[in-house]
Amino acid sequence: MWVRGYVIFCGLLAAGALARTGYGGTVYAELGNSGTQITTNYSTSTQTTLNLTSPYGTHILNTAGGGVEISFSPTSQFKAVATGNSNGGVRVETDGKITFTLVFDSPILLSATIVEGGQYSTTGVGALATIAGGVIVETIDPLGNRESIGGTGNLATYGTDNRWTSTIDLGSFTHSYTAYRFSIDNYLRADALGIGSASISKDTFTIIIPPPGGAGGSAPLPVAAVGGSALGALVLLFRKRVARSLA
């Protein structure tokens, strides 16, 4: 009899795990969205700093297709434009930081990819740089468990249509959690050396979390998908049946 009970128990757990096909009920909470723009003029040996408000703009959270896609609309502030002169060069550095949390209705094994892009141009002696530095995703776990993933990317692809793109794979967690905190620091730089110019802007920024069992390191939801009370009841029932069979 206890063997049959064990089969029923495992079957219920498997059903709970396989039933998860999407991340409905995901809650986004923004904690910060700010930036700075530093302009260094080498001909006058001066430097100015401009504070930016919400450079990542607004966001749209889409859970269609089983995964989660967060698309931001960077504002016109998220750019670096430098124009040089015959007496020296100019460097403009724009740094945008955003922090937010994602809370799911059940624990998930999270993996994520960032896809971003924008426009660029150079004339004369001009140079550009893009760096997605300090991209960190960490758990928010009341039990004190700590785990994080992250990455740094500075290899943008510059197309002939004056658009640049970049993709960063942040990897995957090894355990499942309900809440995650994202901390992202993106950097654009334009250098104009001598009589030249450089301009780069960010107009797309998307975070992609694949569906359960999808590409990118995610996997089907573990046993924790079954509600805590239901799982506890199943475990207790199973133990009682085993105890009776051994009595």
Q: Please check the confidence at residue 31 and state whether its pLDDT lies above 60.
A: yes
C-beta neighbour count of 152 within 10 angstroms: 12
Average pLDDT, the chain: 78
**210 with 216: CB under 8 angstroms?**
yes
Q: What pTM did the predictor assign?
A: 0.74
Q: Helical H runs in the chain?
A: 2-18, 228-246
> pLDDT for 120-179, tens place per residue?
998 887 777 766 555 678 888 888 888 998 877 667 888 889 999 988 888 999 999 999
Question: Residue 122 is encoded by which pair of tokens?
Answer: 């150079």
> pLDDT for 218-241, tens place per residue?
333 333 333 333 334 433 433 444
Q: Please check the confidence at residue 73 and state whether its pLDDT lies above 50.
A: yes
Question: Residue 76 is encoded by which pair of tokens?
Answer: 């016109």
Angle at 58 between CA 210 and CA 206, to 5 degrees: 30
> pLDDT for 196-214, tens place per residue?
888 999 999 999 999 887 5
Q: Which residue has the higher pLDDT, 156 or 41?
A: 41
Q: In the predicted model, what is the mean pLDDT of residues 14-19?
A: 38
Given this model, what pLDDT does residue 132 score?
56
